[in-house]
């Protein structure tokens, strides 16, 4: 396969990826779910293909860890290694934000400094990803190998100009990363406030003092089998919110021309913590509205986010619409808790989905209206900032994706107002 730049760019040269850096494959075939002995009490970070796909630019978090014995099955890759997936989610790339291990479904790339950089090659793969995926489509496992990667040919500029391209694109990506970091901190802050109010019951009393530790009245609740603040109630979600289960429209109504409404079917329609349907339907069935809470309910459970516009809900997702705006943030945290409960209940290799009854009968601990309003006024600005950052990230991603092909094929020159 060969990827050509514009004929006007004479300083661009034919290269194969093997000329630009060293490739090595991850070593372990083991996964936490089928060989837990390798992962118990682990301290060496391990990332999988899904975490690479989910990352924007840097992989800065991990779920699984190797123990000392497990590490013998793999190796520690240095910070800034470019990870390239070759199985499952193929041709996805991201850079390590700190040293990690990865399995044999991932290839590590370390650039020769005089030839290229890991960041530039990340953008190269972002540019050619669809072509690689199309070339592998239809194979038994939709995978590729190192020989395929090292044989890829395309035109690239000399290293100084590569760095200029990276400077443009990475500026956008690093702003996205910064927004994500800010959101992580805001989410921790919001969760701390929620726990302070609804777990510890230390919300401000009428004198501004922590309720429970200042002697606030508590009453035993038979449903929860514990004491809760006097006047608080346990309600089913269906009494405080409308639950809308997705229903997929007819396949012949689907299109990629942005006709109709974007369709949500599952995790693939989420981008960087926001809804981003790419397939549209001209005959939408079930709809979510702005400010609805949307979550995945089949196979992959979770991915709870606010809708910023109207979407068609496919069968893999559902929406929850609070009956009053003051309930919105409280319902968000209740759903987060319920999602974790559903995940713990899932057994076997097939993950059970969330049913309508699961949602509607979820238990919700609710305060009186005065306390609910105070909680809403306290936490809504935090949620608004998180949502605004996510919306900004979508705009930044669209700008980056618009610039990427023009920079990579030489159609636009960095530092010039004219086409190449």
- Within a domain: residue 139? yes
Q: Taking residues 152-176, what's their average pLDDT?
A: 92
If one counts every other C-beta atom within 10 angstroms of the C-beta of residue 244, the result is 20
Residue 200 falls inside a structural domain: no
Whether residues 150 and 36 fall in one domain: yes
**What is the band of 2 on the pLDDT scale with cuts at 50, 70, 90?**
very low
Of 318, 347, 366, the domain-final residue:
366
Residue 146 and residue 244 in one domain: no
Same domain, 30 and 146: yes
Q: Would you say residue 229 has pLDDT above 80?
A: yes
Spatial contact of 183 and 390, defined as CB atoms under 8 Å apart: yes
Residue 26 to residues 45, 70, 78, 115, 182: CA-CA distances in angstroms? 13, 13, 13, 23, 32
**16 and 147 share one domain:** yes
Q: Is 298 helix (H, G, I), strand (E, B) or coil?
A: coil
Confidence of residue 8 (pLDDT cuts 50, 70, 90): very low
Looking at residue 193, what is its pLDDT?
A: 96
Tell me if 218 is assigned to some domain. no
Give the confidence band of 346 by pLDDT, cuts at 50, 70, 90: low
Co-location of 7 and 150 in the same domain = yes
Decide if 212 is inside a domain.
no
Q: Do 138 and 262 have their domain in common?
A: no
> How does the average pLDDT of the chain come out, rounded?
86
> pLDDT by residue (tens digit) across 362-411?
999 999 999 999 999 999 999 999 999 999 999 999 999 999 999 988 88
22 plus 135 within the same structural domain: yes
Q: Which helix (H) or strand (E) holds 283?
A: none
CATH of the domain at 291: 3.90.220.20
pLDDT of residue 415: 75
pTM: 0.83
- The whole-number pLDDT of residue 418 equals 43
Position 5 confidence tier, pLDDT thresholds 50, 70, 90:
very low
Average pLDDT on 231-259 reads 92
pLDDT at 262 over 60: yes
For residues 129 and 273, state if they share a domain: no
Q: Quick check: is 123 in a domain?
A: yes
Residues 6+ apart with CB under 8 A from 302: 295, 296, 339, 343
Task: Give mean pLDDT, residues 130-158.
Answer: 75
Helix pair angle (369-408, 328-345), 10° resolution: 70
Claim to verify: residue 241 and residue 148 sit in the same structural domain: no
How many residues comprise the chain?
A: 420
Q: Are residues 23 and 137 in the same domain?
A: yes
Residue that wins the pLDDT comparison between 303 and 5: 303
What digits encode the pLDDT tens for the residues 198-212?
Answer: 999 999 999 999 999
pLDDT at 409: 85
Q: Confirm whether 325 is domain-assigned.
A: yes
Rounded average pLDDT over 97-110: 88
13 and 149 fall within a common domain: yes
Q: Which of 121, 139, 156 is the last residue of a domain?
A: 156
Last residue of a domain, one of 156, 177, 208: 156
Nearest CA to 53 out of 93, 88, 106, 80 is that of 93
Tens of pLDDT, residues 20-56: 998 888 776 666 555 666 666 677 888 888 888 888 8
Tens-digit pLDDT profile for residues 170-200? 999 999 999 999 999 999 999 999 999 999 9
Indicate whether 30 and 129 sit together in one domain.
Answer: yes
Determine, yes or no, domain membership for 219: no
Residue numbers of the domain that contains 90: 2-156
CA atoms of 391 and 304, how far apart (whole Å): 15
Q: Is 208 left (phi over 0), alpha (psi -120 to 50) or beta?
A: left
Residue 101 falls within a domain, yes or no?
A: yes
Q: Tell me how far CA of residue 24 lies from CA of 13, 85, 118, in angstroms.
A: 24, 12, 14
Q: What is the pLDDT of residue 39?
A: 61
Q: How many domains does the chain have?
A: 2
128 close to 154: Cβ distance less than 8 angstroms: yes
């Amino acid at each position: 396969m060969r990827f050509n730049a514009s004929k006007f760019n004479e300083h661009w040269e034919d290269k194969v990826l093997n000329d630009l850096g060293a490739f090595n494959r991850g070593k372990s075939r083991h996964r936490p779910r089928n060989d837990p002995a390798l992962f118990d009490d682990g301290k060496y970070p391990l990332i999988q293909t899904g975490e690479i796909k989910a990352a924007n630019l840097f992989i800065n978090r991990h779920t699984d860890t190797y123990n000392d014995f497990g590490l013998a099955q793999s190796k520690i890759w240095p910070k800034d290694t470019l990870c390239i997936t070759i199985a499952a989610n193929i041709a996805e790339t991201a850079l390590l934000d700190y040293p990690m291990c990865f399995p044999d479904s991932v290839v590590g790339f370390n650039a020769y400094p005089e030839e290229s950089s890991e960041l530039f090659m990340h953008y190269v793969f972002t540019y050619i990803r669809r072509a690689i995926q199309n070339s592998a489509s239809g194979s038994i496992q939709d995978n590729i190998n190192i020989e395929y990667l090292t044989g890829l040919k395309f035109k690239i500029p000399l290293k100084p100009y590569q760095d200029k391209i990276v400077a443009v694109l990475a500026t956008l990506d690093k702003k996205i990363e910064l927004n994500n970091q800010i959101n992580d901190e805001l989410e921790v802050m919001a969760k701390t406030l929620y726990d302070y109010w609804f777990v510890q019951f230390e919300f401000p009393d009428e004198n501004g003092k922590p309720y429970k530790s200042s002697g606030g009245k508590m009453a035993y609740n038979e449903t929860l089998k514990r004491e809760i603040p006097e006047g608080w109630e346990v309600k089913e979600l269906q009494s405080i919110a409308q639950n809308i289960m997705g229903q997929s429209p007819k396949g012949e109504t689907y299109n990629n021309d942005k006709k109709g409404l974007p369709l949500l079917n599952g995790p693939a329609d989420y981008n960087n913590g926001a809804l981003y349907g790419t397939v549209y339907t001209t005959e939408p069935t079930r709809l979510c509205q702005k400010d609805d809470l949307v979550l995945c309910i089949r196979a992959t459970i979770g991915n709870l986010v606010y809708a910023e516009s109207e979407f068609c809900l496919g069968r893999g997702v559902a929406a929850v619409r609070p009956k009053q705006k003051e309930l919105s943030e409280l319902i968000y945290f209740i759903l987060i808790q319920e999602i974790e409960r559903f995940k713990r209940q899932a057994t076997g290799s097939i993950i059970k989905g969330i049913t309508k009854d699961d949602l509607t009968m979820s238990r919700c601990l609710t305060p009186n209206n005065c306390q609910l309003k105070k909680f809403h006024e306290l936490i809504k600005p935090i949620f608004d900032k998180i949502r605004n950052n996510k919306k900004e990230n979508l705009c930044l991603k669209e700008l980056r994706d618009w610039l990427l092909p023009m920079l990579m094929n030489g159609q636009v020159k960095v530092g010039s107002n004219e086409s190449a």
